[in-house]
């Protein structure tokens, strides 16, 4: 008996619905560096569940803009940024000068990528939530229950918690850091926290106006309650034993009286041949770049079709191309139909033409869409949606330029390449044989079969005939599948070129 494969996001959605009738998925990223394809797993995992939940769900993307700059990353100017370490990202100037803050500098292009990927999450910014006072109650609960929280942290992580440890970091009014001030006393009634900062300043912060921030391990469970989060995707780093989900789960229930959301743990995305993508390693591909080379639906599908706990190796070359064809063909056995259904955006039309074919056509037709459409029609494909095909051709051209493996690239030669003149007499006789056998009504398979007929007739290995053929056509020893290639080039020009090669001296 066949086992029905369940789309993983449907499984989580069913579990979430069993727990609550009103679900909220919350994803978040700290905008400390470029947000790239690797980070997309966070939001797209949430998006998959959001789609699977259907109506009555809320989907939030929370930018952790109130986190402190932890260190001077390699992509920052050390002379300029050393002084900002410890300050909230929302208070630090942006590296390029065109954004409101450091946080906005990295969040803005990411939010734009969300739009490109068809993710309609509500965008919230942590520094604004703090400034509006949404965290105030949680901050004072945490201060009241400081020792209980410390006990949970010790219990779960096994680490010694220093007596001066506090779940709350006041922001120093003098140096602007949110990492260096110690809580001296607090008053819930007026939301004030008196502090002494390492810089020497003592003062009073207003926690209802963003004057203090919860430490990460407490901030997270507080946020679950504040936003009513019921499903939370997070990377495997938070999921380790004694990690922030383990402590968050207990802090949520024991301190904030809230049941922790369903965890959705995902693995990293690595870049083929270059390890895990990370902006500090510089091996990242931005979503915007990728979305110019393939339809965004394909990037969604790439994430949706894989179990979240499975590590993904992102290869923008051929494997990505294969994925497009998988998504394009709902009948394909390898296509995960339900994942595809959730991944497809309203704008993507299935065109029913293998993408590799389009890539070859784009190389023959160059920039001309009309020539490409003529070649497609000649190949026997019904053109149902010319506009959709034009869009695909544009993706194919970008992909060719930026990500195509060298052996897939070719350009038609206007003249007979010099190497073709030096072919052996046997090879030339095989090309002559082919030129005389090709007819306009042959399909790609029949054309391809003639190469093997020539092998027998001319007593030369097929391999050598193929090489001679490609040399004559594109000046390389390899190329796209020959029968197919002839069909898209058109029999007449191929015949003329082979005759020329066969008689060249």
Instruction: Return residues touching Zn ion (CB under 5 A).
Output: 94, 96, 98-99, 105, 172, 174-175, 197, 199, 201
CB of 36 to Zn ion, least distance (A): 16
182 versus 481: smaller Cβ distance to Zn ion:
182
174 versus 390: smaller Cβ distance to Zn ion:
174
Which H or E run includes 265?
strand 262-266
78 versus 97: smaller Cβ distance to Zn ion:
97
Token digits of residue 176: 């602007």
First to last CA, the chain: 66
Q: For 406, list phi and psi in degrees, rounded to 5.
A: -55, -40
Give just the sign of the alpha carbon dihedral 7, 9, 13, 14: positive
174 versus 309: smaller Cβ distance to Zn ion:
174
CB of 173 to Zn ion, least distance (A): 8
Between CA 147 and CA 426 the distance in angstroms is: 89
Q: What is the DSSP string of 317-333?
A: THHHHHHHHHHH-TT-T
98 versus 241: smaller Cβ distance to Zn ion:
98
105 versus 238: smaller Cβ distance to Zn ion:
105
CB 375 within 8 A of CB 488: yes
Token digits of residue 492: 């007449």
101 versus 230: smaller Cβ distance to Zn ion:
101
CB of 423 to Zn ion, least distance (A): 58
Q: For 355, list phi and psi in degrees, rounded to 5.
A: -65, -35
CB of 146 to Zn ion, least distance (A): 22
Query: 222-231: b or e for each residue (b if 16 or more CB lie within 10 Å)?
Result: bbbbbbebbb
Q: Which of 270, 317, 234 is nearest to 46 (CA)?
A: 234
Q: For 263, list phi and psi in degrees, rounded to 5.
A: -80, 140
94 versus 491: smaller Cβ distance to Zn ion:
94
199 versus 496: smaller Cβ distance to Zn ion:
199
Which H or E run includes 109?
helix 102-116
CB of 234 to Zn ion, least distance (A): 27
Q: For 187, list phi and psi in degrees, rounded to 5.
A: -140, 110
Q: Which of 217, 220, 317 is nearest to 261 (CA)?
A: 220
Point out which residues pair with 62 in neighbouring strands. Answer: 28, 124
Q: Which of 438, 441, 503 is nearest to 472 (CA)?
A: 503
CA angle 317-354-291, nearest 5°? 45
CB of 175 to Zn ion, least distance (A): 3
CB of 109 to Zn ion, least distance (A): 9
Token digits of residue 381: 């494909």
CB atoms within 10 A of CB 147: 11
CB of 86 to Zn ion, least distance (A): 9
Q: What is the DSSP string of 176-234?
A: --SSSEEEEEEETTTTEEEEEETTS-EEEEEGGGTSEEE-HHHHHHHHHHHHT--EEEE
Question: What is the separation of C-alpha 128 from the centre of its chain, rounded to a whole number of angstroms?
Answer: 27
CB 186 within 8 A of CB 143: yes
99 versus 378: smaller Cβ distance to Zn ion:
99
Give just the sign of the alpha carbon dihedral 145, 148, 151, 153: negative
172 versus 335: smaller Cβ distance to Zn ion:
172
Q: Is 462 helix (H, G, I), strand (E, B) or coil?
A: helix
CB of 271 to Zn ion, least distance (A): 25
98 versus 415: smaller Cβ distance to Zn ion:
98
CB of 185 to Zn ion, least distance (A): 17
CB of 88 to Zn ion, least distance (A): 13
100 versus 190: smaller Cβ distance to Zn ion:
100
Between CA 45 and CA 303 the distance in angstroms is: 7
CB of 179 to Zn ion, least distance (A): 9
DSSP β-ladder status, 57-63 and 23-29: parallel
């Amino acid at each position: 008996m066949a086992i029905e494969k369940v789309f993983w996001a449907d499984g989580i959605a069913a579990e979430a619905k069993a727990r609550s009738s009103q679900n909220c998925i919350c994803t978040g990223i700290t905008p400390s560096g470029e947000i790239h394809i690797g980070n997309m797993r966070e939001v797209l995992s949430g998006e998959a569940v959001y789609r699977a939940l259907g109506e009555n769900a809320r989907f939030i993307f929370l930018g952790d803009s109130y986190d402190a700059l932890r260190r001077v990353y390699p992509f920052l100017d050390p002379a300029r940024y050393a002084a900002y370490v410890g300050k909230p990202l929302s208070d630090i100037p942006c590296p390029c000068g065109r954004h409101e803050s450091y946080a906005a500098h990295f969040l803005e292009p990411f939010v734009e990528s969300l739009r490109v990927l068809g993710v309609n999450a509500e965008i919230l910014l942590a520094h604004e939530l703090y400034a509006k006072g949404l965290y105030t109650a949680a901050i004072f609960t945490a201060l009241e229950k400081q020792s209980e929280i410390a006990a949970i942290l010790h219990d779960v992580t096994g680490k010694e918690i220093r007596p001066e440890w506090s779940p709350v970091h006041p922001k120093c009014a003098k140096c602007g850091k949110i990492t260096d001030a110690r809580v001296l006393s607090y008053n819930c009634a007026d939301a004030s926290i008196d502090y002494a900062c390492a810089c020497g300043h003592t003062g009073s912060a207003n926690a209802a106006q963003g004057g203090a921030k919860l430490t990460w391990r407490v901030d997270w469970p507080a946020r679950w309650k504040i936003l009513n989060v019921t499903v939370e995707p997070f990377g495997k780093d938070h999921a380790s034993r004694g990690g922030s989900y383990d402590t968050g789960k207990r802090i949520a229930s024991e301190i904030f009286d809230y049941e922790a959301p369903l965890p959705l743990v995902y693995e990293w995305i690595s870049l083929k041949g270059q390890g895990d993508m990370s902006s500090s390693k510089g091996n990242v591909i931005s979503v915007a770049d990728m979305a110019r080379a393939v339809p965004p639906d394909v990037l969604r599908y790439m994430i949706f079709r894989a179990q979240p706990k499975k590590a993904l190796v992102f290869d923008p070359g051929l494997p990505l191309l294969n994925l497009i064809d998988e998504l394009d063909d709902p009948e394909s056995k390898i296509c995960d139909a339900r994942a595809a259904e959730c991944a497809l955006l309203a704008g993507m039309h299935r065109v029913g033409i293998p993408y590799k074919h389009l890539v070859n056509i784009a190389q023959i037709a160059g920039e001309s869409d009309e020539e490409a459409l003529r070649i497609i029609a000649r190949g026997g494909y019904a053109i149902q949606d010319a506009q959709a095909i034009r869009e695909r051709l544009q993706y194919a051209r970008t992909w060719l330029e930026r990500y195509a493996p060298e052996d897939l690239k070719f350009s038609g030669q206007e003249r007979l390449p010099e190497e073709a003149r030096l072919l052996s007499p046997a090879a030339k006789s095989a090309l002559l044989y082919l030129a005389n056998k090709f007819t306009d009504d042959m399909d790609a398979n029949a054309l391809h079969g003639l190469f093997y007929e020539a092998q027998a007739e001319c007593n030369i290995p097929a391999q050598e005939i193929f090489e001679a053929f490609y040399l004559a056509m594109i000046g390389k020893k390899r190329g796209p599948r020959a029968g197919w290639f002839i069909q898209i080039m058109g029999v007449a020009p191929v015949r003329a070129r082979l005759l020329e090669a066969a008689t060249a001296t």
